[in-house]
Amino acid sequence: KAMCSGRLQTALLGAGYFVYLLVGAAVFQALERTAEKQEKMAAAQMKEAFLQNFTQLSVAEMEQFMKNLIEAIQNGVYPVGNESQFEESNWDFSNSFFFAGTVVSTIGYGTLHPKTAGGQIFCVFFALFGIPLNIVFLHRVGKMLSLLCKKLGKFLYEKGMRKKKIKFLTLLFFLATGILVFLCLPSVFFQITEGWSYSEGIYFAFITLSTIGFGDYVVGKQSDRKYFSYYRVLVAIWILFGLAWIALLFNL
């Protein structure tokens, strides 16, 4: 009965957690998409004006153009290619969900961030309640995984193995399995999807799951590559369960 109650609580917590991320993603999308579209139109106009007059620009005007270009790139607007690329939004649902996940997990790459006053204020309150919710969720998932550790330990104990050896083998098993599932295999996936080297994939996976999040490598940001729908949603889910695995290692 207690086990059923625990499973129900875990299921409700998990459902509530993902609903929280989904709602956050929808709000960020609604608040930021229009402002981003205006920024992209301004960048397109700036590019067009430069191409028409670049031979006549003074040094001061060229400097101003470079400053505007750097500011646009920092805001996630890349004025390259044809106009159709300006129709693609950094705040589609997949990207918004990914951003929501990086906020509550405290990774914060910095490559995508709210720029409107409403988006920034909402981000403060979203993180204020989302970060504790994320900690509780990871603790619960870690607790569930630790029950698997106990079952494995019990099985080995019944086979006549000593307790110290059981503890070592249990830790080794979950460490090796986690490294394979959350570091090695995803790195192959990133290598194929992003065109990175395998070492770059490993680097990105470690920097992400350790919540360092430099932002020098971020998935789904290369304008010359085609990504499948909800690619970044899947990456966000990988991050969440990868963090749960790390929480389990700390528990062990």
Verify that 45 and 162 share a domain, yes or no: no
Burial class (CB within 10 angstroms; exposed 0-12, middle 13-18, buried 19+) of 218: buried
Determine the pLDDT at residue 81: 64
User: What are the structure tokens assigned to 89, written together?
Assistant: 């939004």
For the whole model, what pTM was predicted?
0.84
What is the average per-residue pLDDT within 186-202? Answer: 95
Amino acid identity, position 137: F
Of 12, 30, 60, the residue that ends a domain is: 60
User: How far is the CA of 246 from the CAs of 14, 73, 171, 190, in angstroms?
Assistant: 18, 34, 12, 20
Question: Poorest-confidence range of 22-36, 72-86, 112-126?
Answer: 72-86
Closest of 175, 202, 174 to residue 186, by C-alpha: 202
Verify that 20 and 100 share a domain, yes or no: no
Determine the pLDDT at residue 199: 95
pLDDT, tens only, 9-63 = 888 998 999 999 999 999 999 999 888 888 888 887 888 887 787 777 788 878 8
How many CB atoms are located within 10 Å of the residue 229 CB? 10
Q: Do 213 and 113 touch, CB atoms closer than 8 A?
A: no
- Give the N- to C-terminal CA distance of the chain in Å, as an integer: 26
Place of tokens 């770059």: 200
Q: Which domain holds residue 56?
A: 1-60
The gap from C-alpha 91 to its chain's centroid, in whole angstroms, comes to 14
Nearest-angstrom CA–CA distance, 96 and 102: 10
How many CB atoms are located within 10 Å of the residue 190 CB? 22
Determine the pLDDT at residue 4: 67
Determine the pLDDT at residue 21: 95
Q: Do 32 and 119 touch, CB atoms closer than 8 A?
A: yes
Asked if pLDDT for residue 207 goes beyond 60, the answer is yes
Average pLDDT taken over every residue of the chain? 86
Verify that 208 and 169 share a domain, yes or no: yes
Under the banding of pLDDT at 50, 70 and 90, the label for residue 2 is: low
Verify that 48 and 103 share a domain, yes or no: no
